[in-house]
Amino acid sequence: MRKILALVVIVMVTSFPMAAAESPLPLKKYLEPADITKLDWLLLKAQVSSFSKDIRWDDCGLIDSVSLFAINQRGLVGMTFLVRKQRYIALPDDTAKKVFTDAVLQASRILIHTIPEVEGGANVYANFMAIGGDLVAEYRHGQVILRR
């Protein structure tokens, strides 16, 4: 009996790959190599592993979330922070600049383990977008520029 059962299992197991090879994979086009840089890959990995959980970016409740991207032409790490517009409007310029700078530095400290070149906000460009689409500020070369 054991021999018959073993033979049936072997026949079934060996027939699965043949059946799979005969029918096309529905997701085959997604299994092909893609043009993606190492920076793109590292940022995607960091986004999923480190930035997808709730992070308290500031004490004002100004920043909601961040998305990472590579600016390959300039060799920079890009960050887009979503900002609550009404809270932004209510803040003085100095406070908004400090919150935005601190958010970039906090994100850089998280990324430094993967991409050490972002230490202290170096090699980073960030934009701060109001929920709904308006650009409210940018971070370039270590400086925050408000767009009021």
Set out the domains of the chain in order of their start, with CATH numbers. 2-31 (no CATH), 38-146 (3.30.300)
pLDDT, position 30:
87
Q: What is the DSSP letter of 28?
A: G
pLDDT, position 54:
87
pLDDT, position 139:
98
CA distance 53 to 40: 20
**Opening angle at CA 52, ends 132 and 118, nearest 5:** 90
Element (H, E) at 129: strand 124-130
3-state helix vs strand vs coil in the chain, percent to 5:
45, 25, 30
Tokens standing for residue 80? 């887009």
pLDDT, position 11:
44
Question: How far from the centroid of its chain's Cα atoms is residue 97's Cα?
Answer: 23
Question: How far from the centroid of its chain's Cα atoms is residue 79's Cα?
Answer: 9
**pLDDT (tens place) for every residue of the chain, 148 residues total:** 444 443 444 445 444 554 445 567 888 888 899 899 999 999 999 999 999 888 999 999 999 999 999 998 899 999 999 999 999 999 999 999 999 999 999 999 999 999 999 999 999 999 999 998 899 999 999 999 999 8
> Is 83 in contact with 62 (CB distance < 8 Å)?
yes
Question: How far, CA to CA in Å, does 50 sit from each of 39, 54, 98, 141, 144?
Answer: 16, 10, 23, 24, 24
For the chain, report the end-to-end CA distance as a whole number of angstroms: 81
